[in-house]
Amino acid sequence: MFFTFGLRALITYFFPNFIENLFSYLSLRFQVNHIEYLWTSISSFLIAIVLTLISNLFVIKMFGYKEPISYAVKKYGDEIEKLFRTSAKTGELMQLTLKNNKVYIGFTDIIPVPKETNYLKITPVMSGYRKSESKTFKITTEYFDVLDIYMSDNPKFDIYDIDISIKQDEILTAGIYDQDVFSLFRGETYEEQKETEEETIKED
């Protein structure tokens, strides 16, 4: 508003009749009764939109697309969006438990725009489920070999996308995943856990 009134004052100073003639034409063109400073207020609104777009483009050009989004998530995002922001910035793994007891462990390189969508993308590393009664987490699938192929330069696999879209409303619990901490909670090392899982698979 300050910028618009300053601009109006300058134009009036150098071209005394321009503003009056322009606003009279606009009032007749759009059949609007004369209201003091109506078109100045409308101009202020339009200029604010244009300057916002220009400033956003400037910030994105200077700092990249992710930084403004990262700041927005840090300031206005919910806990899930902040978790995805952390994973995208640090590469840390996340553990997501869904309402159907399905569990995904993975990472993301996409910082979600706050409140823009209800779906979040994750690149899975492992997946499994929680047992209905004990809620103990059991790993059933590992994606390491697939990830190696997916991240290779082989053009044969360029069309494949292993990312999974998860509806945010379906996430029951979420947090940073650390294999060593996970093994400690089970009272065993990762190698011991693998041996236990292999024996369980053989028995099944």
Q: What is the pLDDT of residue 167?
A: 92
Helix, coil or strand: residue 153: coil
Helix, coil or strand: residue 129: strand
Please answer whether residues 166 and 120 qualify as being in contact, where contact means their C-beta atoms are separated by less than 8 angstroms.
yes
Non-local CB neighbours of 160 within 8 Å, separated by 6+ positions: 150
Q: What is the pLDDT of residue 172?
A: 92
- This model's pTM is above 0.75: no
Q: What is the pLDDT of residue 131?
A: 86
For residue 75, what is the enclosing H or E element?
Answer: helix 66-76
- Bridge partners of 119, per DSSP, are 167
Q: What is the pLDDT of residue 195?
A: 58
* Tens digit of each residue's pLDDT, the chain (204 residues): 888 888 888 988 898 888 888 888 887 888 777 777 788 888 889 999 998 888 878 877 776 656 778 888 888 888 999 999 999 988 899 999 999 999 999 999 888 888 888 899 998 999 999 888 888 888 888 887 777 776 666 666 555 567 889 999 999 999 998 877 766 665 554 555 555 555 544 545
Q: What is the pLDDT of residue 200?
A: 47
The strand ranges marked E within the chain are 93-98, 102-107, 119-130, 137-142, 164-167, 171-177
Distance set, CA 70 to CA 19, 79, 165, 174 (Å): 43, 13, 20, 19
Non-local CB neighbours of 85 within 8 Å, separated by 6+ positions: 70, 73, 74, 77, 111, 112
What ranges do the domains of the chain cover?
Answer: 2-63, 69-203
Helix, coil or strand: residue 171: strand
Structure-derived torsion over alpha carbons of residues 93, 98, 102, 105, reported in degrees to the nearest 10:
0
Q: What is the pLDDT of residue 139?
A: 85
69-203 fold: SH3 type barrels. (2.30.30)
Burial 99-136 (b: 16+ CB within 10 A, else e): eeebbbbbbbebbbebeeeeebbbbbbbbbbbeeeeee
